Amino acid sequence: MEAISLKYRSFLMSLAVSVSVLIITLTAHKLLGAQEKTLEERVSNLEMLVSDLNSRLLQLEKQPSAKSTGGKAPNQNIPAGKVAWRTLQKDMTKAQVREILGEPRNIQMFGSFEIWSYKGSSRVDFDASGYVDGWSEP
């Protein structure tokens, strides 16, 4: 009877070890799978960042250089805070303004007219059709 009990205990111990190894193996596999997904997401994010940086680089390369402006660097006498403002043009869309100046601090509606406020007293005025009508630089 005691021999059966020892065999049974041995079997249970062996079974417990096997189950433990199986649990550890499955947990490790699951963790590695999660890491692969995380790495794939990180690679995807980096690819999008590189694409965005390439687009920005192309835009910068399209800007006039000192050679094409007669030896003068473009915007050389314009304070850094006003360079973006000096690219505004009448009849620009809201999307174009947002791309140049970023998000406004405040948007006010006056009937069908709209005013976007930026730092200080700077602002952009839009007409009833939603196009730039005027602006006030910082």
8: domain range?
A: 1-62
* Number of domains present in the structure of the chain: 2
Residue 110 and residue 56 share a domain: no
The pTM (predicted TM-score) of the whole model is: 0.45
For residue 123, list its beta bridge partners.
117, 136
Q: Judge whether 11 lies within some domain.
A: yes
Same domain, 48 and 84: no
Confidence band, pLDDT 50/70/90 cuts, at residue 3: low
Q: Are residues 55 and 84 in the same domain?
A: no
Which residues, including other chains, have CB under 8 Å from residue 75's CB and lie 6 or more apart? Answer: 83, 86
pLDDT tens-place string over residues 9-54 = 777 788 788 888 878 877 777 777 767 778 788 877 777 777 776 6
Q: Please write the tens of the pLDDT for every residue from 61-92.
A: 777 654 555 544 555 566 767 889 999 999 99
Domain boundary among 35, 62, 89: 62
- In-domain check, residue 73: no
